[in-house]
Amino acid sequence: MRNGSVDDAPCGRYGFTHDAFVADVIDEQQNEPGVDAQALGLTFEALVFVTMRAADRDTVAAFERAVADVPHVLQAQRLFGDPDYLLRVIAADLPAFQRLYDEALSTLPGVQRLSSTLVMKSVVETRRLPL
């Protein structure tokens, strides 16, 4: 986002339209679920495992700042053991995921290795806490 507007190029490159990105930003800011990824053409989901070169404070902080800026990363979780992170990412299709993987994820600070697996089907979506 620059000066309150969104640049089309980074969004469209990975199968994410400007309008969809804006809708997602607005939805996220309002903290309301409801943006339908399939309706936006984002039907390709993958889990990406990240192994870092180093685990020092500066490397971890740089990676976490950078990964938070990648709009196609829906979730990023730091793990104990190996791998170091688990990312849930979404794209329009396999070619869009490959571009995301090659141009954004593999260039994140401190990344030594990426390994991914494709999501066949979501069985349980995000739900409320069992209180």
Going along the chain from its start, the domains and CATH numbers come out as 9-118 (3.30.70.920)
Predicted TM-score of the model (pTM): 0.73
Between CA 72 and CA 14 the distance in angstroms is 8
Instruction: Return the structure tokens found at 67.
Output: 């990964």
The reported pLDDT for the residue numbered 13 is 57
- At 59 the pLDDT is 97
**pLDDT given for residue 14 in this prediction:** 57
Q: Which two tokens stand for residue 70?
A: 């990648």
> What's the pLDDT score for residue 116?
97
Block mean pLDDT (10 aa), the chain, length 131: 41 53 46 70 95 96 98 96 96 96 97 96 85 86
**Radius of gyration, CA atoms only, the chain:** 15
Task: Please name which of 100, 51, 47 lies closest in space to residue 71, comparing C-alpha atoms.
Answer: 100
**Long-range contacts from 35-43, C-beta under 8 angstroms, 24+ separation:** 37/90, 40/16, 41/15, 41/17, 41/92, 42/15, 42/16, 42/90, 42/91, 42/92, 43/92, 43/93
